[in-house]
Amino acid sequence: MITYKSPAEFEKMAIAGRCVARIHEEVQAASEPGVSLRELDAISAKILKEDGCTSSFLRYQGTFPATICASVNDQIVHGIPGDYELREGDVLSLDVGAIFEGFHGDAALTYGIGEVEPAVQQLIEVTERALWAGIDEVQHGARVGDIGAVIESSAEPYGYGVVKEYDGHGIGRQMHEQPQIFNHGRRGSGVRLKKGMAICIEPMFNLGTDATRVEPDGWTVVTADGSISAHFEHTIAITRSEEHTSELQSH
């Protein structure tokens, strides 16, 4: 179902989003060789509590066992933060979701631990640029296909695999609402975006092919060919029915 949020509801989502941003900042600062993913999860849980929020992911579908998703190297999304200790050269993708007074905020980012190979650094940068290119398409009246088309074409010159089995989503009272926000598509096609909607855009690009599989834990999604993957995500609210603003185009 697509839901439309009032300004007061968007404000709650913004508070959840600020908590998500603080978690990303503090977790990134703590991410260094020798630190376990479980420790990063504990930092996240502490900040959620301080900010009066709860985790969007903990017990998601009744079973997700952690506060955040932490996906390393060939893990694309939904990694479970456990005892694994970060190593120099690892690629860490963190996905954080917070709920404030019943409303969700959701964002992901990917970074290297210390030095990573140039090809991996480029993958990370291109994936982040694709997210911003997608965000630039967001306005009242735009189509979901406008976002997918620009994300897909961002990967094309590099030959990256664009993950198609997982995608972005509407967000509000649920972390995952309609519409689906695909990372591929055709300009001018798909659901029309309208004022009051909030969506998560989240490109996932692989150094290898786009094929994925799920690990035996039932959650962790990895690249089928073992190649490195990157993932970025922001939550975007459509608050106006006017044309595009310079604020969005400045990125």
- Which positions touch Mg ion (CB under 5 A)? 106, 200
| Tally of CB atoms within 10 A around 246 | 6
Tell me the two tokens of residue 213.
């599989």
Q: Based on CB atoms, which residue is closest to Mg ion, 176 or 244?
A: 176
Q: Quick one: 105 or 196, whose CB is closer to Mg ion?
A: 105
Q: Which is nearer to Mg ion, 10 or 57 (CB)?
A: 57
CA angle 98, 26, 35 (to 5 degrees): 110
Task: State in angstroms the smallest separation of the CB of 105 from Mg ion.
Answer: 10
**Whose CB is nearest to Mg ion?**
200
> Which CB atom, from 9 or from 106, has the smaller least distance to Mg ion?
106
Closest distance of CB 157 from Mg ion, Å: 26
Query: At what angle are helices 37-50 and 7-30 packed, to 10 degrees?
Result: 140
- CB of 200 or CB of 238, closer to Mg ion: 200
| SS3 call for 6 | coil
Please compute Rg for the chain using Cα positions: 17
**Shortest distance in whole angstroms from residue 108 CB to Mg ion:** 7
Nearest approach, Cβ of 106 to Mg ion (angstroms)? 4
Beta carbon nearer to Mg ion, 106 or 210: 106
Give min distance, CB of 34 to Mg ion, in A: 29
Minimum gap (Å) between residue 97 Cβ and Mg ion: 7
Distance spanning both ends of the chain, measured CA to CA:
30
Give the number of other CB atoms < 10 A from CB of residue 65: 14
Residue 174 and residue 53: Cα distance in Å, rounded? 14
Assign residue 190 a region (left: φ > 0; alpha: ψ between -120 and 50; beta: otherwise). Answer: left
